A = this chain, B = another copy of it.
Amino acid sequence: MSILDFLIGRPIATSDERGEEIGISRGIPIFGLDALSSAAYGPEAALTLLIPLGVAGLTYILPISAAIITLLLIVFFSYRQTIAAYPGGGGSYTVAHENLGTFPGLLAATALMIDYVLTAAVGISAGIGALTSALPQLHPRTLTLCLAALALITLVNLRGVRETGGVFMVPTYLFIASMFAAIAWGVVTSIASGGHPAPILPPPAPPKAVAAFSFWLILKAFSSGCTALTGVEAVSNGVRAFREPTARTAQRTLGIIIACLLIMLGGIAYLAHAYKIAATDPNGQNYQSVLSMMFAAISGRGTFYYVAIFSVLLVLVFSANTAFADFPRVCRVLANDAFLPISMANRGRRLVYSQGVLVLAFFTAALLIAFGGITDRLIPLYAVGAFLAFTLSQAGMVAHWRRQGGESAKRYMFVNALGAFATGITVIVVILAKFMEGAWITVVTIPAILAFMYGVRRHYDKVLAEITTSGPIDPDTIVAPCVIVPIQRWTTVAKSALCSAFAISDDIHVVYVSGDEQGHDDFNRTWEADVVEPARAANRPVPELVCIESPYRFVVGPIVDYVLESARKNPDRRIVAIVPEIVERRWYNYFLHSQRAALLKTSLLMHGTNKISVLNIPWYVK
């Protein structure tokens, strides 16, 4: 276990759990990275869609950003209330499930799970994309780098929450500081120059307009920009992980995250407009990210530029971590309600829901491989899930307040209803605007996952109904089992197996599979001398010797058949099939023995019945 100790850390006792809790300064990197890093791709995704409008497109980024910021504020106030109402963890699943019913709950959970996988994939691919833009020679290795980053994040998360916060604090605060400094610097310069600042390093001139203004284009740009809102629900999901008073700490953390994000989105929009920074074609030769052009325009390509770009890169890759903090929690809740395999609710050695971490890593890897680790192709799948979960969660809160009643509840209800309405409209807009580009994949996946979860639940219900005990034991009905011992040679191992049979029953059947005449005669002789005579002398019943011919040289098959036949003939009795086995202490000696014992055990387990049990008698080679 020492390799596991080294990689994942020593086991943590359940009683140490309190020590794993989180304050505001750690909470921001852990639950806010996803939301904050959205600033690095959200505005760019919107600007990219405005490219066909040429320089005129830059005019529209201001109203689009205003709409997104308004939406962000509505969602913030909505989730503030959710945190207060659900201090035990108000994930979209919990809120929708409790207030609207099972189906809306599962729908919200599914939407969230899909979005977490996309968060991880987009974060990693965008970060690696930034790296390969800076160092083009790494470009052919994009996918490999993505998977390596994924492996690293997975490992960090298997070590547990506290370490995670520690690892991600520095880049998060470096990113916030760089963005704030750049925005402050740019805004001051811009105001000082009367709104027309001279860029230190001018961005490439916006391309000529090839399309006229259309409402549809603006809608698509808004939909893509909405990816900036993803990750906002993370805090409400994870309230339980915060330090006491959990709800207040969580609310403050959320407030700071939203305030930072708001400043960044507003700042980027203002500066893009002031410095005339249009997006460049992400598939083109001269692609440069919007943030890179912005930093260069404000400060030139000096130390500040490289520090800022580096922090963007780190934050993007690490933003995937929010998904790793929350996906396993959603899985745990679903597993406790028997909608996912129960093992996802078991905590690993480090108090982490390790299986959820591994499942997320698996699906993220699959997405990265399928899309070659390219952000641009992943973006259209994104945001549908997040906004669907937002909507269901807010709608659930509306029902919650209605049920609670009272004057203040009415006010709360209004806020949540506004949130539900705004995000609901956005879901429809996003699905319509990006359906052909990839949103259809998300739309198709949701029912598949729902069907899976209902299937798991149905199966658990069935098994539970079956194994729920039907009362006390009845010792009087219990009789000694019928014991079957396969023996091919009379060795110490066989002797040990036969003695075990004598110890548990008087009804013993020894099965000998006959290969050649000579071996058969030898065995018969030993059998008489070493088993039959001593048994008679001790007044014990003599075991029955069953010889089976095997023309195909198979040994395991005939034994299994005999056991099954015995079970059929004695439907009311328990059958114990004894499997003697030579066990090597060193694994490499394992290959020196025929694997008949293992094969026999597996075969009996596969074809057996409730009445057939297998008694494995090991013989350890010294």
Contact = CB atoms under 8 A, between A and B. Distances in A.
Contacts of A192: none
A475 B495 CA distance: 11
A283 interface: no
Nearest to A341: B592
Contact of A478 (B494, B499, B610): B499
A449 interface: no
A140 interface: no
Contacts of A494: 469
A490 interface: yes
B551 A14 contact: yes
Nearest to A580: B613
A202 interface: no
Given A342-B592, A503-B478, A471 B530 contact: yes
Interface string A580-597: 011100000101111100
A504 interface: yes
A491 B468 contact: yes
Contacts of A343: 591, 593-595
A355 to B, nearest CB: 10
B594 A605 contact: no
A524 interface: no
B574 A531 contact: no
A8 to B, nearest CB: 13
Contact of A504 (B11, B505, B529, B608): B505
B469 A491 contact: yes
Interface residues of A, number: 85
A252 interface: no
A299 interface: no
Interface stretch (A111-119, A210-218, A458-466): A458-466
A386 to B, nearest CB: 28
Interface in A317-353: 341-343, 346-347, 349
A617 B613 contact: yes
B502 A475 contact: yes
Contact of A476 (B472, B538, B551): B538
B530 A472 contact: yes
Interface in A570-585: 574, 576, 581-583
A492 B473 CA distance: 10
Contact of A552 (B14, B466, B473): B14
A3 interface: no
Nearest to A590: B341
A471 B478 CA distance: 34
A391 to B, nearest CB: 31
A466 B612 contact: no
Given A605-B618, A613-B617, A467 B499 contact: no
Given A592-B341, A594-B343, A469 B613 contact: no
Contacts of A612: 618
A535 interface: yes
A304 interface: no
Contacts of A615: 576, 613-616
Given A609-B620, A619-B610, A492 B479 contact: no
Contacts of A581: 605
A583 to B, nearest CB: 6
Interface string A249-261: 0000000000000
A480 interface: yes
A523 to B, nearest CB: 12
A160 interface: no
A456 B588 CA distance: 11
B498 A469 contact: no
A333 B574 CA distance: 44
B534 A473 contact: yes
Interface in A356-402: none
Interface string A524-541: 001001110111001010
A156 to B, nearest CB: 21
A466 B622 contact: yes
A483 to B, nearest CB: 9
Interface-central residue, A463, A473, A480, by most chain B CB under 10 Å: A473
A473 B491 contact: no
B503 A480 contact: yes
A135 interface: no
Given A574-B500, A622-B466, A534 B610 contact: no
A617 to B, nearest CB: 5
B14 A463 contact: no
Contacts of A616: 601, 605, 613-616
A535 to B, nearest CB: 6
Contacts of A341: 591-593
A233 B426 CA distance: 80
Nearest to A537: B475
8 contacts: A343-B593, A466-B622, A469-B491, A470-B495, A472-B530, A473-B535, A479-B503, A500-B574
Given A466-B621, A467-B619, A610-B618, 19 more contacts: A11-B554, A12-B552, A343-B595, A459-B589, A459-B592, A463-B582, A469-B492, A469-B494, A470-B492, A470-B495, A473-B498, A473-B530, A473-B534, A475-B535, A480-B504, A481-B500, A500-B574, A605-B616, A614-B616
Please give me the 6 A-B residue pairs with the lowest Cβ-Cβ distance, nearest first: A504-B504, A475-B538, A472-B530, A467-B491, A13-B551, A467-B492
